[in-house]
Structure 1
Amino acid sequence: MTILVTGATGMVGRHVVAELVKTGHRVRALTRTPSAANLPDGVEVVGGDLTDHSSLEPSLNGVERMYLFPVGRTACDVVAAAKRASVRRIVVLSGALADTDDSQDGYLAVERAVEDSGLEWTHVRPGEFAANWLDWAPTIKEGRVVRRPYGAAVTQPTHEADIAAVAAKVLVEDGHTGRTYTFAGPEAFTTVSQVDAIGTAIGATVRFDELDPVQARAEWISNGYPEAFVDWIFAMWAESARAPAPTNQEWADIVPRLTGRPARTFAQWATDHATDFR
């Protein structure tokens, strides 16, 4: 059985490849830059681009199962190509808030394309990726500081290796067809506490400077973030800071239930990425 991993050199895809190789599966890895893939020995690396479905057809030959990185605007064409190639199962990398975004480029567009195909499908919907915190790396490296509004906002970040472990499990194990797994890391805690965890991982004090939300909003928009996105995420942080939610245990239980081992903590994630912040 050959499994195609799209987005194979991405933050999650690279771990999906590693999980599948570790368990003895034949992996074909799709990437736009095969020469720079740097994937484990034995992985068949092929070139292709999810925004150009015609480039995928050679890579789909002989594939039975597929891990699909979400690209909404071409999802229907990509899934149709997979169906023509006799792919049987598709596992979609989606997001916990997929239902809130009905745009052409959103996660929901990818989920619907797969569901409408008639193929076996499973949706993997992690909460906020811990890897988003890599955005803090430049200011931590330069001045040992994080500048952001809403230091009391609470989130429950998920290690990308756990996202991959869930995806790999439902790719190879039966019994998950038609299921949507929404999950998160094992603990919810404040932005300030997350900054402290990174400081501990790198052996340095990292300061948190709380920005005025109005000032921060203007800076984010001037840096190219869409205004609607900034307003949405700031509103979410503001509500979380005002009324912090406890750990969502239902979400936290999914990783250990599916993988048979504890979910990785944010402290572990910070340790794994310490070199990115030093």
Structure 2
Amino acid sequence: MTTEETRGRMLAAERRQRIVDLLERQPSVLVSDICAECGVSAVTVRSDLDYLEREGRLKRTHGGAVPVSTYVVPRVSERVRKNARAKQAIALRAAKRVSDGEMILVGSGSTTLEFVKALRSKRDLTIITNACHVIEYAEQHLREAVIMSTGGVLEREYRHYYGPILSASLADVYVDEVFLGADGFEPSFGFLAEYEQTAYAKSEFMRHARTRTVLMDATKVGAGRSFARFAKPEEVDLVIMDEDPDGVVRAACNASERVVEVVEARA
């Protein structure tokens, strides 16, 4: 069997490890280089790179990839991988709400990052965000999008901006829809963020959009930790989840006279 035939039979796991090994020895790789190294098509290589990026092991670039250390913050990567299928299903459903040419607000979080990834087929978007990882991903992959960052103090660990300057930067902004993640949900209390400054930023975002949409997987319901509230159940317009366990979220959000839509996008 020739070397080319052996490479062609290389298992996916072996190919992907070979790609990671290449990036440990050099600052970047091209799709064409990987094709030559592994004896597979460009389509296969792009699929491998997409898989490795979802795993947090590299960062896709135009025509290739770079080491993960040049882009992905480990904490963000860990959150993206947790409940990944549910978050991807939520993101795909949310992306259907966005039309070409729209201006949207996007908050920080792993689920909102998945949502931005699902916007790759959209054209002429304007994305306003306080999340560094959203900015970095959109800059690389949503080349037709206008990317606008809020001001504010940088929260170094989770890579987003917060504080009074964030509020000031949004003073003249009003858009059709804001998309926010949630770290928890208590039926009697509302949508929660892990830190007070994060909750403040999310609350501020909600003031600048006609439709307030929360993207949240089912594990966030009844989260048994101390959080800060950014919205009461009835203060949002739409919740997109992988599933609403026992209809808890729908019941809590619609306990008042105001109608809140809860959509399940099962993984």
TM-score (normalised: structure 1): 0.36
TM-score (normalised: structure 2): 0.37
Which of the pair has the greater relative contact order for Cα pairs under 8 Å at 6+ separation?
1
